[in-house]
Amino acid sequence: MTDNNQTNQQANDPTTSNPHKALSIIRNTEEMQAQFAHMQMLSRSQPIVDWPTREAQLNNLETLLSDNQDSLAKAISADFGHRSVSETQFAELFPSFTGISHAKKHGKSWMKTRRASISPLYLPAHNEIQPQPLGVVGIMVPWNYPLYLAIGPMIDALAAGNRIMIKMSEAAPEFAETFAKKIAHYFSPDMISVVLGEVDIAEAFSKLPFDHLLYTGSTAVGKKIMAAAAPNLTPVTLELGGKSPVIILDDANLEAAVNRVMMGKTLNAGQTCIAPDYVLIQRQYHQRFIELAKEWMQKHYPNIANNPDYSHIINDDQFQRVQGYLEDLPNDVVQPLTDVAADAESRLLPPVVVTNPETDSEVMQNEIFAPVLPLMHYDTLDDAIGFINARPRPLALYIFGDNNRDIDKVRAHTVSGGVCINEVIMHVAQHDLPFGGVGHSGMGAYHGKAGFERLSHMKPVFVQSKLNGLNLLLPPYGELFKKGMALLLK
């Protein structure tokens, strides 16, 4: 499906006579570079994108999702070895649908030129801010939530009136192929093209002179993406990860805290950039936390070896990486939460708690990205805050407790991409909250209005009145000028 307005606009534009054949699915560097040049040319020749055109593209995206929910979920499950369709519905389809609905509801008002305040000294002139499409936006999608982390940035880019090139993760090939074919069916290649391929294609993609490049993935790769974009001065949004901590205050309802932490840690088998990475808790509550976590697992994932609701690890490399972390730890600090052992063949990794690992161990140095949960003890709240602040700023911070003074202290004395209080992860689904990292966990934020503005040029405009006093400030600088300056600088 394509938008009729867009199709007609292209048919009447002489620039579309370019000999390049537009491609919806791209598999090599030459095709990618040619397609980018074609889309960039169109974006420059057609800079105005009205709301009906943008809304039609959002409708196409919504229809794509609605028509293909089962096939998209099955493709994701195939890449993981197993992932519950219900989990994909909850964590990927639902926020995608609500994100589209939110953009359709508010996008028309977001794109309007708006008045900005002006100093009384410049009246009767006035200021305006005029949102404009950037042009061609590049999106690089990770493997852990390949649907939502493609659709989310696409919503913002389309609402802002941009064209899109999107690089799918080579670690989720089944989904990448399925998604590319669906995009080709519902969108003109002049509007959205999907790039498939290995790391070399991803590297070449990141070097294209996009008007904005949004990357979601690891901090290590994020540094390479930023370096690749720098020669073109391509602005980047980096949604990275890191170690998102949980602080459980001494007055917290421990059972409720365990319930939410375990939900966040087992969702997608912990393969979530904002999953709780480690827990800071007072020592006397360690054992009770473990007991409650075991009870929680038995209730929510019974018979985990054959449980259809529990996800597997995406590939052998990721499975072996996490197993290596655990093998390097003393046996007495690893506390299984089930009686089922890890299975390398199926990549099933049941959750475990690690009690007070050394701070230089792999599980405390690297983002875990798996159902492994370190429990670290603290004596005072200042100790917990100091522990967090001594490390790179996290993408998310989770606080459990009822003492508002302590909660406010943690909020005020730590810096993180986002915060949840007595909850985990749910801030990512709030379309009126910007989502993004800080420092090593990323730069820039998107979602909702913040995403629209991130992927727009918010052009400042100064509008002078026919009647104004600025001519009084022109040379030659006589007594009137000097008196005026004396008054202004007083």
What pLDDT does 10 receive? 39
What pLDDT does 46 receive? 94
Q: Which residues contact 128 (CB under 8 A, 6 or more apart)?
A: 113, 114, 115, 116, 460, 461, 463
Tens of pLDDT, residues 449-468: 999 999 999 999 999 999 88
What pLDDT does 483 receive? 85
Q: Report whether pLDDT(378) > 80.
A: yes
Tens of pLDDT, residues 273-298: 999 999 999 999 999 999 999 999 99
What pLDDT does 24 receive? 94
* For the chain, percent of residues with pLDDT exceeding 70: 96
Q: How far apart are CA 160 and CA 154, in angstroms?
A: 10
Structure tokens at 271: 């393969």
Tens of pLDDT, residues 18-55: 567 889 999 999 999 999 999 999 999 999 999 999 99
What pLDDT does 12 receive? 37
* Residue 203 appears among annotated catalytic residues: no
What pLDDT does 20 receive? 78
Out of 239, 367, 420, 453, the active site residue is 239
Q: Report whether pLDDT(321) > 70.
A: yes
What pLDDT does 13 receive? 42
Task: Give me the chain's average pLDDT, please.
Answer: 94
What pLDDT does 5 receive? 42
Q: Report whether pLDDT(15) > 50.
A: no
What pLDDT does 478 receive? 87
For helices 381-389 and 404-413, give the axis angle rounded to 10 degrees: 20
Domains defined for the chain, CATH in brackets: 4-240+444-459 (3.40.605.10), 245-436 (3.40.309.10)
What pLDDT does 19 receive? 65
Give the SS3 label for residue 368: coil
Indicate the range of 20-29, 212-221, 465-474 predicted with least confidence: 465-474
* Residue 174 appears among annotated catalytic residues: no
**Stretch 66-94: mean pLDDT, rounded?**
97
Indicate the range of 1-5, 134-138, 357-361, 405-409 predicted with least confidence: 1-5
Out of 55, 273, 367, 420, the active site residue is 273
Identify which has the larger pLDDT, 480 or 413.
413
Q: How far apart are CA 155 and CA 104, in angstroms?
A: 9
Q: Report whether pLDDT(165) > 80.
A: yes
CB atoms within 10 A of CB 11: 8
Q: How far apart are CA 81 and CA 9, in angstroms?
A: 44
What pLDDT does 79 receive? 97
Q: How confident is the model at residue 485 (pLDDT cuts 50, 70, 90)?
A: confident
Give the SS3 label for residue 245: strand
Q: Which long-range CB contacts under 8 A does 351-355 form with residues at least 24 apart?
A: 351/262, 351/265, 351/266, 351/270, 351/293, 351/297, 352/326, 353/289, 353/290, 353/293, 354/326, 354/329, 355/286, 355/290
Q: How far apart are CA 439 and CA 240, in angstroms?
A: 10
